[in-house]
Each structure stands twice: as structure tokens, then as C-alpha cells.
Amino acid sequence: MATVRQSVDVNVPVSQAYNQWTQFESFPEFMGGVESVVQRDDTHLHWTTKVAGQTREFDTVVTEQQPDQRVAWNSVDGVEHAGVVTFESLGPETTRINVEFQWDPDSAVEKIGSFFGADDLQVRSDLKKFKEFIESRGTETGAWRGQVDSTPQSGEVFGSGTNAAGTESGDEGAGI
């Protein structure tokens, strides 16, 4: 398993940085190699990526989401990976975004790229693009303030989401 850890400081309040990050379908605007992200519901995402000429499709599930604090995920098929993004307020107008994930490079190209740090460089570049994206806009493109708890309840596979009002997250729809 390869591990990637990168951080970036953005000059926006923590809520603005977090709100934008929850707009998963906007990821292709600042993430290299991400062709599309389709949010199927509050916690399920379908990804299409193209790296080194190879197109991949896979699904992920958001396992934890705490407004202004963290978003965690796991893959459910395809590329094996899991990670967390945390948001740390450094002041009223500055936020540190920390990204950490582990993934299992599959092809020879992925393994070689990971060995030489291409995945770290890509994430660093993506975070720099996110910084430019959110700072240049002046506001986020949307927000989903729902909460997802990864602790499975009786009979549940991934736990239930509860939004800021305390109702089931499905009552408000997806975070797009």
C-alpha cells in the first residue's frame, strides 16, 4: 500500500474550505486525472479517472463526515484506497487542509509512479489548484453540512448520516 500525506493552507474560513470540499462533483476542476465524480447519494460517489492514458472507474463511500472537521472515505470496488481530509482553522480567514490516504497501486505504471513519488506530487499539485480555485472564487460553489457517522448501527453496513438539523441526511438530498 502506498501512503500519501499532503497539506495546504488556504486563505478562506474553515467553513468555506469544508463546504467547497463537500462539492465532490467539482473535483475535476482542480484534480488532475479526475475526469468526473458523480454523487449518487449523500455518501456514494462514482469516479472516472484517466492517468497515464489508462481510464478507471470505481466507487467510494463516505464513511465519516463532520462539518468543518473531516471527511473520510473507502473504496468499495476497483482501486483499493481509503483516506481522510481534515480541516484545521488557523484563524478567522485561514484553514489548513490535510490529506492522507492509502492506495494499492495496481499496474506497473502505477507502482513505478508511486515508488518515485508521482502520487505525492499529484496531490500537492491538486491541493495548490484547490487553493487557487477557492481563493479566486470568493465563495464556495455549494455546501452540504450533513454529518456521516461511520459507526455501523444494528443492521446497517456503513452507519447513518445525520444532518445539522438532526434528521436523516436523505431528507435533504445529496450535497451537490
> Residue 128's CB: how many other CB atoms inside 10 A?
13
Q: Give the Å distances, CA to CA, from 8 to 88, 90, 95.
A: 10, 12, 8
| pLDDT tens for each residue of the chain, 176 residues long | 889 999 999 999 999 999 999 999 999 999 999 999 999 999 999 999 988 788 989 999 999 999 999 999 999 987 788 999 999 999 999 999 999 999 887 777 777 877 887 888 999 999 999 999 999 998 999 988 989 987 544 333 333 333 333 333 333 333 32
Nearest Cα residue to 31 out of 12, 10, 47, 13: 47
Q: In terms of pTM, does the model score above 0.85?
A: no
The type of residue at 82 is A
Residue with the three cell numbers 468555506: 16
d(CA 104, CA 2) in angstroms, rounded, equals 6
What domains sit in the chain, N to C, each tagged with a CATH number?
Answer: 2-140 (3.30.530.20)
Q: Using the 8-state DSSP alphabet, how is residue 41 labeled?
A: S
137 contacts: CB under 8 Å, gap ≥ 6: none
d(CA 75, CA 170) in angstroms, rounded, equals 21
> Residue 16's CB: how many other CB atoms inside 10 A?
22
